[in-house]
Amino acid sequence: MPSTIDNAGTPLQIFETHASYLRHSKSGYWGKPTSSIDWCEHNYAVSFYIAEYYNTITNIGFILVGLFGAIQAYKKGIEFRFVLCYICTIMIGIGSALFHGTLTHVGQQGDETPMMLFACTFVICLIFLKPSTESIYGKNTFNYSIVFAVVFALSFAVLHWHYRFVLVFQGLIGVGAVGCAFLIRPHQLICSNPKVQMLGWHYYVGGLVFAFFLWQLDVHFCEQLHQFTFNPQFHAWWHFGCSIHCYSGTTFLIYQRQIYLGKKKPILKYFMKVLPYVDFLEESKE
Ligand SMILES: [Zn+2]
């Protein structure tokens, strides 16, 4: 169960008993944790240079799908707002790896700020998905909203750095995720392509729900999981679920946006038969 201990004057959330935590905590390259959370995975158990090994390497998922999505979207001439969502996905992966790899205060900020940036950018793209929304509120409203979202996310980061209100951060991200699920649902219901529909609900919402379930298992049953011969490291799997969530949500938005714009006919293609991306019918006939 989660509990909070005193860590040289600052609170540190842990998921084992204090005695068990002290028994398992090895010291490593980055010294004692200065973050406000030390996850269930035992520190420096695999490498002297990486505090939480599995929680670090699994962020490769965010980086790979984010890179692929950003390059594809850029090559296909898709609006930069969606490239930005993919760039935020890459930043989540890099920031999260820094956090889990070092367990430092600055690393934690590197993890949480991109999450806030992605959430803010994604929700603005979702609100303005139909061109009619932009025409109602004026041409520049989207741009102003994106600037506001980025300023909000960065301001929050500054406050969070100072006050370390992790619960407020987690609450905001949770409200954002639930809000986006409600906002995306009408678009998913009118989507005429069944495979894209799957992206906009089963993979986008389902990916996050599944990941959240594993995250909860990791934080509430940490002691029991460590009894296994090999800890399944559910927090590491949470990273994969979240990378599916970010990638499929953005890819769904891109497809539906093309439908609403009505200029080119979008189709869903697969990279190596696994990773979906949006292409256009004209280009695919070449
Ligand atoms: Zn993590």
The CATH number given to whatever domain includes residue 192 is 1.20.1070
Residue 259 Cα to ligand 1 middle (Å): 35
Confidence of residue 169 (pLDDT cuts 50, 70, 90): confident
Residue 39 Cα to ligand 1 middle (Å): 8
Place of tokens 């139909």: 130
Output the DSSP codes for 126-149.
HHT-SHHHHHHH-TTHHHHHHHHH
Q: What is the pLDDT of residues 201-255, one digit of tens each?
A: 889 899 999 999 998 998 888 888 888 888 888 999 999 999 999 999 999 999 9
Residue 236 Cα to ligand 1 middle (Å): 7
99 within 8 A of 110, measured Cβ to Cβ: yes
Instruction: Record the tokens describing residue 257, joined without a space.
Output: 């946006």
pTM of the predicted model as reported, rounded to 2 decimal places: 0.90
Q: How high is the pLDDT of residue 285?
A: 52
Residue 167 Cα to ligand 1 middle (Å): 15
**Best CA proximity match to 223, nearest among 85, 18, 86, 11:** 18
Residue 23 Cα to ligand 1 middle (Å): 23
165 against 86, higher pLDDT: 86
Q: How high is the pLDDT of residue 260?
A: 93
Residue 45: pLDDT over 80? yes
Residue 217 Cα to ligand 1 middle (Å): 14
Alpha-carbon distance 54 to 110, whole Å?
A: 18
CB atoms within 10 A of CB 116: 24
Residue 58 Cα to ligand 1 middle (Å): 9
Span of 15-19, 57-61, 94-98, 246-250 with lowest mean pLDDT:
15-19
pLDDT averaged over every residue in the chain: 88
Residue 260 Cα to ligand 1 middle (Å): 35
Instruction: Record the tokens describing residue 118, joined without a space.
Output: 């992605």
Residue 13 Cα to ligand 1 middle (Å): 14
- Over the range 76-109, which residues count as b (16 or more CB within 10 Å of their CB) and which as e? bebeebbbbbbbbbbbbbbbbbbbbbbbbbebbb
Span of 12-21, 40-49, 81-90, 94-103 with lowest mean pLDDT:
12-21
Q: How high is the pLDDT of residue 263?
A: 83
Number of domains making up the chain: 1
Residue 42 Cα to ligand 1 middle (Å): 14
27 within 8 A of 48, measured Cβ to Cβ: no
Confidence of residue 49 (pLDDT cuts 50, 70, 90): very high
Instruction: Record the tokens describing residue 170, joined without a space.
Output: 């987690």
Q: What is the pLDDT of residues 256-281, one digit of tens each?
A: 999 999 888 999 999 998 899 999 98
219 within 8 A of 150, measured Cβ to Cβ: no
Confidence of residue 28 (pLDDT cuts 50, 70, 90): confident
Residue 286: pLDDT over 60? no
Alpha-carbon distance 24 to 30, whole Å?
A: 16
Residue 5: pLDDT over 80? no
Which residue range is the domain that position 119 belongs to?
3-284
Residue 56 Cα to ligand 1 middle (Å): 8
Residue 146 Cα to ligand 1 middle (Å): 26
Q: What is the pLDDT of residues 75-116, one digit of tens each?
A: 999 999 999 999 999 999 999 999 999 999 888 888 888 998
